[in-house]
Amino acid sequence: MTLLPRSLTIVAFGVALLCGAAHAADVRERLSFDAGWRFAKGDPGGSTAPDATAQPGFDDAAWRKLDLPHDWGVEGPFKQEYPGETGKLPWWGVGWYRKHFTLPAGDAGRRVYLDIDGAMSHAKVWVNGQYVGGWPYGYASWRVDLTPFAKPGSDNVVAIRLDNPEKSSRWYPGGGIYRHVWLVKTAPVHVAQYGTFVTTPQVSKAQATVSVQTTVESNGRAAQVQVATEIYTLDAAGKRGAAPVARQAATKVTKVESDRQAQLTQTLTVPQPKLWSIASPQRYVAVTTVTENGQVTDVVETPFGIRSAVFDAKNGFLLNGQRVPLNGVCMHHDLGALGSAINERALERQLQLLREMGTNAIRTSHNPPAPELLHLADRMGFVVLDEAFDMWHEKKTPNDYHTSFDEWHEKDLRAQIRRDRNHPSVIAWSTGNEIPEQGKPEGWKLAAHLAEIARGEDRTRPVTSAYNHTDSGYNGFQNVVDIFGYNYKPGEYGKMHASAPYLPIYGSETASTISSRGEYFFPVSDDKSKGAANFQVSSYDLTAPPWATSPDVEFKGQDDNPFVAGEFVWTGFDYLGEPTPYNDDTTNLLNFTDPAQQARAAQELATLKKIAMPSRSSYFGIIDLAGFKKDRFYLYQARWRPELPMAHLLPHWNWPERVGQVTPVHLYTSGDEAELFLNGKSLGRKKRGPRDYRLRWDDVTYQPGTLKAVVYRKGKRWAEDTVATTGKPAKLLVSADRAQVRADGKDLSFVTVTIADKDGRPVPRTHDRITFKLSGPGEIVATDNGDATDLEAFQSPQRKAYNGLALAIVKTKAGEAGKLTLTASADGLEGAQVTLDSQAQ
What's the pLDDT at 471?
A: 87
Rounded mean pLDDT, 615-621 = 98
Q: Which of 17, 79, 90, 117 is nearest to 347 (CA)?
A: 117
* CB of 446 closer than 8 Å to CB of 392: yes
pTM value surpassing 0.85: yes
533: Cβ contacts below 8 Å, ≥ 6 apart: 521
Residue 593 — very low, low, confident or very high, per pLDDT cuts 50/70/90?
low
* CB of 618 closer than 8 Å to CB of 689: no
Task: State yes or no: pLDDT of 606 exceeds 70.
Answer: no
The 10s digit of each residue's pLDDT in 730-742 is 999 999 999 999 9
- Dihedral of the CA atoms 742, 745, 747, 749 (nearest 10)? 100
Task: State yes or no: pLDDT of 12 exceeds 90.
Answer: no
User: What distance lies between CA 669 and its chain's CA centroid?
Assistant: 28
Helix ranges (DSSP H) in 458-594 = 493-499, 551-559
**Omega cis (within 30) before 571:** yes
| 405 vs 10, higher pLDDT | 405
The 10s digit of each residue's pLDDT in 248-274 is 998 899 999 999 999 999 999 999 999
Q: Which of 449, 471, 451, 478 is nearest to 463 (CA)?
A: 451
What's the pLDDT at 19?
A: 36
Rounded mean pLDDT, 521-533 = 95
Distance in angstroms (rounded) separating the CA atoms of residues 247 and 254: 20
Task: Name all contacts of 604-607 with Cβ < 8 Å and 24+ positions apart.
Answer: 604/546
What's the pLDDT at 26?
A: 63
Distance in angstroms (rounded) separating the CA atoms of residues 341 and 323: 36
What's the pLDDT at 613?
A: 84
Distance in angstroms (rounded) separating the CA atoms of residues 709 and 721: 5
Task: Give me the active site residues, please.
Answer: 434, 509
The type of residue at 194 is: Y
Q: Which of 450, 464, 469, 467 is nearest to 405 (CA)?
A: 450
Rounded mean pLDDT, 48-55 = 81
What's the pLDDT at 841?
A: 82
DSSP category for residue 658: G
- Whole-angstrom Cα Rg for the chain: 27
What's the pLDDT at 548?
A: 96
What's the pLDDT at 589?
A: 45
The 10s digit of each residue's pLDDT in 150-166 is 999 999 999 999 999 99
DSSP category for residue 602: H
- For residue 714, the tally of other CB atoms under 10 A from its CB is 8
Task: State yes or no: pLDDT of 584 exceeds 90.
Answer: no
Distance in angstroms (rounded) separating the CA atoms of residues 809 and 799: 12
The DSSP result for 409-477, as a single string, is HHHHHHHHHHHHTT-TTEEEEEEEES-GGGGSTTHHHHHHHHHHHHHHH-SSS-EEEEE-SGGGGGTTG
Task: State yes or no: pLDDT of 8 exceeds 50.
Answer: no
* CB of 541 closer than 8 Å to CB of 631: yes
Checking DSSP bridges between strand 505-511 and strand 484-487, what pairing results, if any? parallel
- For residue 56, the tally of other CB atoms under 10 A from its CB is 16
The type of residue at 423 is: H
* CB of 530 closer than 8 Å to CB of 543: yes
C-alpha neighbours within 13 Å on the C-beta side of residue 95: 24
The 10s digit of each residue's pLDDT in 759-786 is 999 999 999 999 999 999 999 999 999 9
Cα separations in angstroms, 393 against 86, 604, 677: 22, 28, 58
